[in-house]
Chain A
């Protein structure tokens, strides 16, 4: 700690310890449905304590313009973004916040480098030993990858970045070269450049190459793999904070950072399992590369039956049990309120309505749950894949809403399929399946979906929201 201000360091350390404890309790509560809101409040209390404690230390010798200016600016921007975001824009926002965390770690580390250079210039002995220099390098590396990776994810999620290459950036070869360069620069900055005037060169260089590496790593990754990428970047933002903790010898940063790192890794693991793919496969192999994918254009389908809203409503007339399967298409069409409306109308007719949520439906972990919660769907009606998969057999109608690969029977039935083994929702076992979708175009995996030509499948072509509106009107008229 650089400055010992108003108060004694034991007090500060005690406050930090208290804050770390509160974080641990907060994150524990965050992982349960009933306790989560309290957990979030608890964690923000921990943060407040940590900030106040730090102000007590730095309070005497501080540039208040920098401190207050930064806090005011950050609070205004953060609060505006958080209050104004639409629930459908949540994946982008989470990606953006991840990036901000990473960026802060880079800046703190580079500020330490600047401080050390000034000391050297003034003739004082460099206080930067290898222990700190290695931590600075780690902080810069992880933070910069998190920053640029998150911004690319942000761009992809909001539809601003569509390509899987930016010039040569995004190719495996260049990524490998940049990764090696990062390690070389980190070793140089961490062990050899310490105490010399070139320390800034090493860490600045590292920051730039790591930023490019972050872009290169995330650019090739496609939309449906985003849940994995976002969870992983979440984990990185924690690890970056952790590295910054080693730079400043601050145990609170280490504790909080590693908690986040662990939770992000667990989510990543859950997402990978839901797709039956390994993390390396998600990160380094594009789906088409496996061979198997056979295009899946409209011409490949032979016996597709389609139904309009009236026909669909007639079938729903006699249905007593319905399962709705939402996917990314629901998010795109912002159809969650219409879904809820349809469910309410059906329930009024004595029909039971449930929702089957595939863990990787959408673009981030839990994406569908957030949207349906926004539309006031009680979460008791949402069921996980394992819990509901056996129930399709006894269900009258399954309504697939903008989901594709996660309901592809090939995953369960065709061992040669590229997605063989991926857990899917067995919608085809229902009496009748409605697939509400714009066209027969393939999903992310780029493969044909046999569901579309099953006996009991009705394709309902159209925009999810528009079709539901008409369907609701028809059902009301019954």
Chain B
């Protein structure tokens, strides 16, 4: 039974694994580019999820063949994912552009270094009391 389930739903299992891997990379990594890589993996897992949804087993591409009783796959989720891929590319491009600007402005793209710098920065010229705000709650 359980092996059957794995064989039947292996693409969904991969989706879940990729999703969790992507989220974990975003949360655990200090490097801003690696975070973006995690985001890409996370988004790609959703693409695979949609594509799996639209697949009908034994179905062909939705082009009229003229033969009766042809089984077609559902094209709509695939089209949606084309849009989502474009959105994903745009997000990644903007993210990478920001990383370049962050590197220029701070000379680092490591989160822990930047956090340390941010505190210093705040004390030096503008006195933003981040620590105070944290301790208030």
Is the pairing of A and B real?
A: no
| Interface, chain B (partner A; CB < 8 A) | none
| Interface, chain A (partner B; CB < 8 A) | none
